[in-house]
Amino acid sequence: MGLNKRSKLLLITTIAGLTVALSTFISTPLAFAESTSTSGELTKPLLAIAAAIAIAGGLIGTGNAQQGIGAAGMGIIAEKPEKFGQVLFFFVIPETLWIIGFVLGIILLLGIL
């Protein structure tokens, strides 16, 4: 039971949107709060959840991108072994997705922005 390309894109977009919405909700100060002591107790766990979603979204996106590239790359290498370097280069490009997710997770956890 695999997901088609449109369903995968919808899932990744939903995860990214929820991450942005959750991080915006957490970072926005409560305008009418009487005391900020209770908001500090809930902020850290929610930031941890937002960071986990950001990292997971980057990893899922990387896996989805590399599955097609890897399958096509193996076919190319089987026919033309001299294309190994070029295939490897295209296989590594999607790794930037998990790096971006990881950096966003660190930013959320450390409260840089």
Q: What is the CATH number of the domain that holds 90?
A: 1.20.20.10
Residue 32 falls inside a structural domain: no
Angle between helices 84-92 and 37-79 (to 10 degrees): 160
Q: What would the pLDDT profile of 21-56 be if each residue is shown by its tens digit?
A: 666 666 555 544 555 555 566 688 888 888 899 899
Residue 38 falls inside a structural domain: no
Domain that holds residue 61: 46-113
Query: What's the pTM?
Result: 0.59
What per-residue confidence (pLDDT) applies to 24? Answer: 62
What per-residue confidence (pLDDT) applies to 8? Answer: 75
Mean pLDDT, all residues of the chain? 80
Looking at per-residue pLDDT, the higher value among 32 and 66 belongs to: 66
Do residues 73 and 90 make contact, with C-beta atoms less than 8 angstroms apart? yes
Q: Count the domains in the chain.
A: 1
What is the per-residue burial (b if ≥16 Cβ within 10 Å, else e) of 89-104?
Answer: eebeebeebbebbeeb
